[in-house]
Amino acid sequence: MAYQPDRSQYPQPRPDGSLDIDLRSGKYLKLWQGPQHPGITGNMSLELTVCGDEVVAGRTHVGYLHRGFEKLMERRTFIQCFPIVCRICVPEPDFNEYCYAAAVEELAGIEVPERAQWIRTLILEMGRVNSYLMYLGGQAGAFGQAVIGQWTTYARDLMLDRFEELTGARIYHMFILPGGVRDDLPEGFGRRMEQTLREIEEILEEVREVMFDNAVLKRRAIGLGHIDPALLDAYGVTGPTARAAGVAKDVRRDHPYLVYPRLAFEPVVAQASDVHARADVRRRDLLLSIDLIRQILAGMPGSGAVMTALPNVLHWKIPRGETYIRGECSRGEYGYYLVSDGSGYPRRVNVRGPSYTHAVALLERLIVNVNIADVAALMVSLHTYPPEIER
């Protein structure tokens, strides 16, 4: 049932603006969505208060996979943190590696070879393709289009093949480490990547026709989960969610890093700021990533070092200081705040994932007045990954 303009049967606002919800009145039901639920991204849960089939209040709950990464890193040497960081975000782990490595390099005064900068950019764009493909499947699935997820999972597998031949791993690549990257591109990598990109493009064209031209998606996603652009800064909204609201926030352009200043691109934007606009921005951003991968492979220097000599990492002390390094991941601003006290261990590592703001304060605001059946689609549209909330 759509949103009912007659609000007489729904909770009335108190003077402070909050809703007057009396759970003993028999008009409301507490409904838990998650932590194990197909309509939840990752392991978190939504505590919904529903009136009829409309959500009148929602609280988010995290903590189901807290592993204490930030604390663990305080007891490990700088190089020992490197294999830990990628595990903070499963679907797009490489941003953790890049941000951590760049933060350590900055505090330690390490120069990274140029070719390594190109390979890092390549890896990050490959990861973005993977993450968006996973998102498209989830977003379509939330509207009952299960087949899209099967197609995009196949397409993602093709990119995982490229990851495997480049890094030796499909999920946690552990490839971008302080000083550069672990290895150079294998022989013939560019040719095989081009083949993969073409196949993904073909699949995306079918996804566009079947998913985006679908009447069900248009009817349900247009107008759902509208974010007022005036709220973007108040709620720390970044990435495609901000770009779908007409604000071209993109760290790749706003705070250029790696070789992005040498690549030609414009951030993808839309205006409607609803679930449909966010899905469309991500689909077009995916095509942009494919284009960027081609630009990177064409523009990369033919040869050169990919790793700089590091001091003995077992006795590596980094001068006292603090810094913040950010990148534009598929969900928005991803950043690492690193503090060194001059010892061989980080004093503090704080991971700033976009889900931290999108999946808690923003989601709790957007979820009010949404139909129960649309909650999953709304949550997926924010493209949140809970591990980066609880780190």
Partner 1 sequence: MHELHERLKAIFPLGELTVQRPDLAFITLGREHLRPLLLELRHRHGFTHLVLLTAVDWIEEGCFQLTYLLNDRAGARDLGLRVMLPREGASMESIHDLWPTAATYQRELREMFGIDFPASPGVDEPFILEGWRDIPPYRRDFDTLKFAEENFNQRPGRATLDPARHMRDRLHPEGE
For binding to partner 1 (CB under 8 A), which residues are involved? 62-63, 66, 68, 70-72, 74-75, 77, 80, 106, 233-236, 238, 249, 254-255, 314-315, 321-324, 326, 333, 335, 337, 339, 347-348, 350, 352, 356-357, 360-362, 365, 390
Q: Are 76 and 267 in contact (CB under 8 A)?
A: no
CA distance 79 to 342: 15
CB of 131 to partner 1, least distance (A): 21
Minimum Å distance from CB 70 to partner 1? 7
Measure the CA angle with vertex 126, ends 259 and 36; round to 5°: 130
Task: List phi, psi (to 5°) of 134.
Answer: -65, -40
The C-alpha angle with vertex 97 and arms to 91 and 101, in degrees rounded to 5, equals: 165
Nearer to partner 1, 84 or 136 (CB): 84
Distance of CA 138 to the CA centre of its chain: 13
Could you tell me the smallest distance in angstroms from the CB atom of residue 192 to partner 1? Answer: 36
> Beta strand 346-352 with 332-340: parallel, antiparallel or unpaired?
antiparallel
d(CA 368, CA 59): 10
Residue 145, token pair as written in the block: 């289009």
Q: Please identify, using beta-carbon distances, which residue of 66 and 198 lies nearer to partner 1.
A: 66
Distance CA 58, CA 43 (A): 16
Burial of 137 (0-12, 13-18, 19+ CB in 10 A): buried
As measured in angstroms, the least distance from the Cβ of 45 to partner 1 is: 12
What type of residue sits at position 178? P
- Least CB distance from residue 388 to partner 1, whole Å? 12
Residue 69 vs 143, nearer CB to partner 1: 69
CB of 185 vs partner 1, minimal distance in Å: 30
Closer residue to partner 1 (CB): 154 or 337 = 337
CB nearer partner 1, residue 24 or residue 315: 315
Which residues does 121 contact at the CB level (< 8 Å), separation at least 6?
258, 259, 260, 263, 292, 296
Closest separation in Å from C-beta 367 to partner 1: 14
Instruction: State the nearest-atom distance from the C-beta of 224 to partner 1, in Å.
Output: 21
Smaller CB separation from partner 1, 80 or 308:
80
Place of tokens 């997820």: 149
Q: Which is nearer to partner 1, 63 or 168 (CB)?
A: 63
**Nearby residues of 269 by Cβ (< 8 Å), 6 or more positions away:** 243, 244, 246, 247, 248, 281
**In the complex with partner 1, which residue's Cβ is closer, 63 or 299?**
63
Give the CA angle between residues 258, 285, 41 to the nearest 5°: 100
